[in-house]
Amino acid sequence: MPAVGIPPAAPVPRRPGGRAATLMSRRPGRRGLVGVVVTALAATLLAFVPATQAQAAPVLLSQGKPVTASSQEHYGTPATAAVDGDNGTRWSSAAADPQWIRVDLGAPASLSQVELRWEAAYAKSYRIETSQNGTDWSTAYSTTTGAGGVETVNVSGTARYVRMLGTARATGYGYSLWEFKVFGTTGDDPGPVIPGGGDLGPNVHVFDPSTPGIQAKLDQVFREQESAQFGSGRHAFLFKPGTYNNLNAQIGFYTQIAGLGLRPDDTTINGDITVDAGWFNGNATQNFWRGAENLAVKPVNGTNRWAVSQAASFRRMHVKGGLNLAPNGYGWASGGYIADSKIDGQIGNYSQQQWYTRDSSIGGWSNSVWNQVFSGVQGAPATGFPEPRYTTLDTTPISREKPFLYLDGNEYKVFAPAKRTNARGTTWENGTPQGESIPLSRFYVVKPGATAATINAALAQGLHLLFTPGVYHVDQTINVNRANTVVLGLGLATIIPDNGVTAMKVADVDGVKLAGFLIDAGPVNSPTLLEIGHQGATTDHAANPTTVQDVYIRIGGAGAGKATTSMVVNSHDTIIDHTWVWRADHGEGVGWETNRADYGVRVNGDDVLATGLFVEHFNKYDVEWYGERGRTIFYQNEKAYDAPNQAAIQNGSTKGYAAYRVDDSVDTHEAWGLGSYCNYNVDPNIRQDHGFKTPVKSGVKFHSLLVVSLGGMGHYNHVINDTGASTVPAGTSTVPSTLVSFP
């Protein structure tokens, strides 16, 4: 039977050469007098400043819309910067005539005005041109005496595309615009303006130190959520800055606990934040979908217990003591994630099979089971793989921490941390956190019952999205088209696509930040569930990448669901920072064809980095990588338990589909700390030729790999390609076959 889903199709356009070669080929940027003044002022201000208030549609039509240009001076001045609503970022062209910048409004609009906010390098002669199809252009305005500064010109007519065509420069540099704004209306009745801000809804529980009954509320929600693995309850506990005494916050399914300070130490709990596994007889391998963020905790007995598995993040935390990652009684636990955190004492790994810790500071680490990986962690153990099974990178090459809600006085804001390169340690211990502070008034606060049409209207209006805890059915794709948009979920907010639509698509623009939500496949097959960039995307986003953080995808488990490919990454430079993409092996709506999902994650973009990648149980390939210069730090996988027989997973002449496949066209790729496990419990006689598949090239490198048969339920013949020992000799003993490096 032919493969179902998105075919590899034509080769994806790639940027020539490596990142260093690309950057060295571009001449240094030149900001001009205005840019120098802006830079000097910025250096004297606080490390974060409120972003400029976005104007609402239908007046401003161009902000965040797809934009292209004839050229780009260097990587820091993309066309998208001219429509991002930020007067501190700009597009600049090559130093030649003519040059143009074009915005696609998405639909025909009645035009009224164009505003050009020039940098010092402006146009002496230019035209404003309009088009219905992007090919045939009409002149709406023309001048040969451009004055620079802020020029506002009146235009008329109906068009979808608007461009500034510069024909003569006023300086020896190129053309440079801080902002290119197009105003008009999209119809006779543009509809109501959607307000930003508002309350956070009934399932966000906000406490201050004087709030009565905090422990009772924590206990009530835990009773509801402790074993509600596939329930509909969603909750967020938010603690205002201050000190809270004698609390034990037990965290169940779909529950988030977080502080509302700018730093973790602004909010201290003298007590415990606990995840254990009493509901599952001491087995923590199903403790999914929960999180703790932005708090300091001083454990009662000196050690806090956080016994979790996939989709459970521990971010921006300060544990004033030790941290135990195993359940009471030291039963099994199956993987988790720590980032931007400080653990004063030792972390007891104990029975955790795999774990990833990034950009943190720890007092020590004990034990290794299969696969423990560290990057940018002060106090991490040295690499010892295969025994002890530690893989340690001194720094994380690129990182940007997850956005979070906080209180600035009495005003809610979302803080979006800045990008770091070669990061090590936390972002918050020394000095003012770096990043952008965005008032809640610039967010559409999404509450249960909101429609996809309203969500899209809010995005088109220039608002960010804050999903409050709940389950959201969408009958059309959520389209995130504006650069630097934040989409943040609280309490594991869950999006379910109806009628086979893609749940969310992100345009090929700079700096979108997706964080903190779950996409749950619907019963009608979706071709994809999450797309980052369009197919064939070519824009360089190295200066301001899109990030995907604590965004989880599920097919089946809560009910029948289907999706051909769960996540497709087309945009260059995207950072995938902690995701669990899971075709369910238990729960409702589970079966080889019932929750059919052939492919987990497909990466087409170049220079994509994955830090903390968990992908499991897909009918065919779990991860496929087509982009150049991709990197993965930590990968955890299980092959589909429910394959009915060998024929069901036969891949041409190859037995089984690799857990992680790099396409033969790729010349450069590198990955550290990868594990794949099989548990073919329907037919234990199934064989996988290998866990990993890659071209053998000097630029393709793998470090610290393992495959393991869980109790002898199926086996791997090799680790990667035809290299690495078979798991067959281990029999039912669940002993991994390891490989230090390949080739």
Residue 710 lies in a domain: no
Q: Looking at residues 130-155, what average pLDDT do you find?
A: 90
pLDDT computed for residue 686 by the predictor: 98
Give backbone dihedrals phi and psi of 594, rounded to 5 degrees, phi first.
Answer: -65, -45
278 and 154 share one domain: no
Domain end: 158, 186, 214, which one?
186
316: left (phi over 0), alpha (psi -120 to 50) or beta: left
CA angle 530, 699, 671 (to 5 degrees): 45
pLDDT computed for residue 359 by the predictor: 98
Give backbone dihedrals phi and psi of 39, rounded to 5 degrees, phi first.
Answer: -65, -45
**% of the chain at pLDDT higher than 90:** 84
Counting the structural domains of the chain, the total is 2
User: Distance between CA atoms of 656 and 713, rounded to whole angstroms?
Assistant: 14
Q: Looking at residues 471-491, what average pLDDT do you find?
A: 96
Compute CA 386 distance to the chain's CA centroid, rounded to the nearest angstrom: 30
174 and 269 share one domain: no
- In a 13 Å sphere around the CA of 222, the CA atoms on its Cβ side amount to 18
Residue 13: DSSP 8-state: P
Token pair 């909750």: residue: 235
Residue 389 lies in a domain: no
94 and 230 share one domain: no
Residue 134 lies in a domain: yes
The least confident of 119-123, 135-139, 203-207, 559-563 is 135-139
pLDDT computed for residue 462 by the predictor: 87
Domain end: 153, 186, 219, which one?
186
Residue 741 lies in a domain: no
pLDDT computed for residue 29 by the predictor: 33
pLDDT bucket at 43, cuts 50 / 70 / 90: very low
Flag whether pLDDT at 463 surpasses 70: yes
Residue 172 lies in a domain: yes
SS3 call for 101 = strand
Q: Would residue 638 show up in a list of annotated catalytic residues for this protein? A: yes
182 and 78 share one domain: yes
Pull the structure tokens for residue 362: 């720890």
pLDDT one-digit tens code per residue, 421-436: 999 999 999 888 899 9
Residue 551 lies in a domain: no
pLDDT computed for residue 191 by the predictor: 58
User: Distance between CA atoms of 348 and 323, rounded to whole angstroms?
Assistant: 6
296 and 165 share one domain: no
314 and 181 share one domain: no
145 and 241 share one domain: no
CA angle 87, 411, 455 (to 5 degrees): 65
The whole-chain average pLDDT of the chain stands at: 91
Of all helices (H) and strands (E), which one includes residue 224? helix 214-225
332 and 243 share one domain: yes
User: Distance between CA atoms of 603 and 576, rounded to whole angstroms?
Assistant: 10
90 and 175 share one domain: yes
Q: What is the pTM of this model?
A: 0.80
Pull the structure tokens for residue 64: 């965040």
The least confident of 32-46, 179-193, 565-579, 698-712 is 32-46
State the burial class of residue 388 (Cβ atoms within 10 Å of its Cβ: 0-12, 13-18, 19+). middle
Residue 648 lies in a domain: no
181 and 240 share one domain: no
CATH assignment at residue 68: 2.60.120.260
Flag whether pLDDT at 189 surpasses 60: no
- Taking CA atoms, 738 is separated from 89, 651, 686, 719, in Å, by 48, 24, 20, 7
State the burial class of residue 217 (Cβ atoms within 10 Å of its Cβ: 0-12, 13-18, 19+). middle
* Contact of 397 with 542, CB cutoff 8 Å: no
Task: Tell which wins on pLDDT, 22 or 455.
Answer: 455
218 and 349 share one domain: yes
Options 226, 293, 638, 670, the catalytic residue = 638
Flag whether pLDDT at 57 surpasses 50: no
Domain end: 328, 355, 382, which one?
355
Residue 305 lies in a domain: yes
Q: Looking at residues 162-172, what average pLDDT do you find?
A: 96
Flag whether pLDDT at 178 surpasses 80: yes
Q: Looking at residues 276-299, what average pLDDT do you find?
A: 97
User: Distance between CA atoms of 126 and 373, rounded to whole angstroms?
Assistant: 55
Structural domain boundaries, residue 248: 204-355
141 and 267 share one domain: no
User: Distance between CA atoms of 173 and 474, rounded to whole angstroms?
Assistant: 48
Task: Tell which wins on pLDDT, 188 or 304.
Answer: 304
